[in-house]
């Protein structure tokens, strides 16, 4: 199963709610999330889910099948008139756990229990570091934890030995001379 979204709406969601669609999509992997059908859906099967994101935030998201776009968008009924994309409150009294909803159970199985080989950790970072990560994430339309993960992953890549770097620089200088 594939998760897709509109990049333009994703950028707007970061500005409006300070939540990336990338982070919101991680709620779909929360086995304890609560899911109910959207009573306001017109012409499509749409769901409302409340679950924990990879950034350990409780989020309410709206998505539809078959590609599970993590969007909170609803077409206008008439020109220049739009219904709010999501209500302020939903009744979750008859909701099911995500692990008991077939399309979400399948998605979770495809991504492994912890979500595509990721492990949730709790750590303390300096405030200025988190601010920088969030600003960088907004620029790149990514969650700040994704930015942090990418930076750490780059550090795992082996650096070429200093001898190789020195030889390359010497060869380039000799060619230029």
User: How do residues 19-50 score in pLDDT, each as one tens digit?
Assistant: 888 888 888 888 888 999 888 887 788 899 99
What pLDDT score was predicted for residue 35?
92
C-alpha radius of gyration, the chain, whole number:
21
**In angstroms, rounded to a whole number, what is the distance separating the alpha carbons of residues 116 and 26?**
10
What pLDDT score was predicted for residue 11?
82
CA geometry: angle at 1 spanning 70 and 148, to 5°? Answer: 60
What pLDDT score was predicted for residue 135?
93
Q: Please check whether residues 134 and 60 belong to one and the same domain.
A: no
- Mean pLDDT over the full length of the chain: 80
Q: At what angle do helices 144-156 and 127-140 cross, to 10 degrees?
A: 100
> Where is the domain boundary, 101, 118, 135?
118
Which domain covers residue 166, as residue numbers?
123-177
> Where is the domain boundary, 72, 99, 118?
118
Residue 51: strand pairing partners: 59
Q: Please check whether residues 169 and 139 belong to one and the same domain.
A: yes
DSSP 28-85: GG-TT-EEEE-TT--SS-EEEEEEE-TTS-EEEEEEETTT--B------SBTTB---S
Q: Residues 22, 29: contact at Cβ < 8 Å?
A: no
Task: Spell out the long-range contacts of 79-87 with Cβ–Cβ below 8 A and sequence spacing 24 or more.
Answer: 83/40, 86/48, 86/60, 86/62, 87/40
What pLDDT score was predicted for residue 116?
53
What pLDDT score was predicted for residue 34?
92
User: Residue 25 — φ and ψ, nearest 5°?
Assistant: -65, -25
Instruction: Report the percent of the chain where pLDDT is more than 90.
Output: 18
Count of domains observed in the chain: 2
- The whole-number average pLDDT for the span 138-159 is 86
User: What are the tens digits of pLDDT across the range 79-102?
Assistant: 444 455 677 788 888 899 888 888
Q: Please check whether residues 101 and 166 belong to one and the same domain.
A: no
What pLDDT score was predicted for residue 68?
53
Q: Please check whether residues 35 and 87 belong to one and the same domain.
A: yes
What pLDDT score was predicted for residue 66?
64
What pLDDT score was predicted for residue 88?
78
Give this prediction's pTM. 0.53
């Amino acid at each position: 199963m594939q998760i897709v979204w509109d990049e333009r709406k994703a950028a707007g969601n970061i500005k409006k709610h300070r939540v990336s669609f990338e982070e919101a999509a991680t709620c779909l992997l929360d086995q304890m999330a609560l899911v109910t059908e959207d009573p306001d859906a017109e012409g499509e099967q749409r769901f409302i889910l409340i679950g924990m994101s990879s950034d350990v935030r409780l989020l309410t998201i709206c998505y539809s099948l078959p590609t599970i776009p993590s969007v909170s968008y609803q077409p206008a009924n008439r020109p220049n008139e739009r219904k709010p994309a999501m209500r302020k409150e939903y009744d979750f009294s008859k909701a099911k756990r995500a692990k008991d909803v077939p399309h979400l159970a399948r998605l979770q199985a495809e991504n492994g229990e912890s979500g595509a080989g990721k492990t949730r950790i709790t750590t303390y970072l300096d405030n200025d570091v988190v601010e920088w990560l969030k600003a960088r994430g907004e620029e790149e339309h990514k969650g700040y934890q994704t930015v942090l993960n990418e930076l750490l992953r780059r550090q795992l890549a082996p650096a070429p030995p200093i001898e190789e770097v020195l030889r390359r620089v010497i060869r380039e200088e000799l060619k230029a001379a």
